[in-house]
Amino acid sequence: MKFKKRGMQWLRLVHILSVSIWLGSVVCIGSLACICFFTLNEADFLTIAPLVPELYRKVVLPVGIFTIVQGIIYGLFTNWGFFKFKWILFKWILALLVTVCTGLGGIGNMLVVLDKVERSGFTGGFADGGLVLLFIVLQIVFMFTITILSVFKPMKREYNKHLIQVQRQPIS
């Protein structure tokens, strides 16, 4: 079963909205993390910083899962498939990396930093927040790369050229 034109339009609209929320949430969390590590004192840090993992759990995780489910629907019920184009496979690899950066990087490291600050004090800056900020930046870079791939579909042109060449060859 494949989607008809109207179904594809709705799927595309919902997908664009959910990806926008996902990317926007990660950018906002990155801004909040920068504020936490570079402008707050220890008491304020211990008040504000726990919001970072909480925002990941309450906003990013549900929207991320919803978006990935949409990608699976795209793969199953449209002509895009999962492996038909290299750029789609590359998007799935990047989506997996975003997931790893979120769990191990953003959430995991922030919880480690919060524990460290409670035990031994707050230094601030890159000393405390370096890994958290690195993983948030990686998430943003990977998500922008996915967006660029989705818009420009660079490897699709190679596939289309191949199809045209195959169609032009005489049948023996």
Contacts of 11 (CB under 8 A, 6+ apart): 3, 70, 73, 74, 78
Task: Find the mean pLDDT for residues 95-124.
Answer: 88
Residue 49 pLDDT > 80, yes or no? yes
Measuring CA to CA, which residue among 55, 48, 49 is closest to residue 25? 55
Return the percentage of the chain with pLDDT > 70, whole number: 89
Residue 23 pLDDT > 90, yes or no? yes
Q: How is the chain split into domains, by residue range?
A: 5-168
Give pLDDT, residue 163: 52
